Amino acid sequence: MRKFFGGSAPRVDRLVVGLGNPGDGYANTRHNVGFAVANRLGKRARAEFGIKAADSRIAEGSLGGIKIAIARPQTFMNDSGRAVKKLLDRYRLDPADMLVVFDEVDLPLGTIRIRQSGGSGTHNGMRSIVKAVGEGFPRIRVGVAPTQLREVPDLAAYVLSPFDQDEKALADQTMDRAAEAAAVALRDLQQAMNQFNG
């Protein structure tokens, strides 16, 4: 529409998308780690999530001289690709200019992994995004698997449940670290992988 009516896209260099589900009932669940990291990154950038656009809540600010938009899609996890496609269109960015942060049930709590690109794994939100825009974007996987070896009979129920009392301190540390990793990755992805993938 902007092409026909003039006006320009809001100018940002990079887009960070934290995955989660909208609504208070999901706020503190393992599946909403992406939202929690996005909130922390917003604080670092002194940016409020005041913009409602592209099926998302968006905060615009800057970190280390890089203009960024931080988004929390409001489409529900399984339809994240729809919001991400609209976000990339809004900011006229390529997928490679986007960083996606999400919970990873195949990594133990306390672990984060940064990758330059790749498939969706078992994560439905990532599956939706890869289907919408391809695999060519960096991502930060934040581990949410139990630190103690225990059977998780219902994976869906597990990720939609809050962290246990004895996990909360480690979960907070991990999300703080993931936000720091995102800030480094925006400047230098390789440095972030070297620093945080250990």
The letter for the amino acid at 19 is: L
Identify the burial level of 25 via C-beta atoms within 10 angstroms of its C-beta, where 0-12 means exposed, 13-18 middle and 19 or more buried. exposed
For 51, 66, 105, 106, 174, the CA distances from 86, given in Å and listed in that order, are 14, 21, 27, 29, 29
Closest CA to 178 of 122, 124, 105, 102: 102
- Given the residues 14, 30, 31, 72, the one annotated as active site: 31
Pair of tokens at residue 173 = 């540390």
What is the C-alpha separation between 5 and 112, in angstroms, rounded? 43
31 catalytic? Reply is yes
Kindly list the catalytic residues.
31
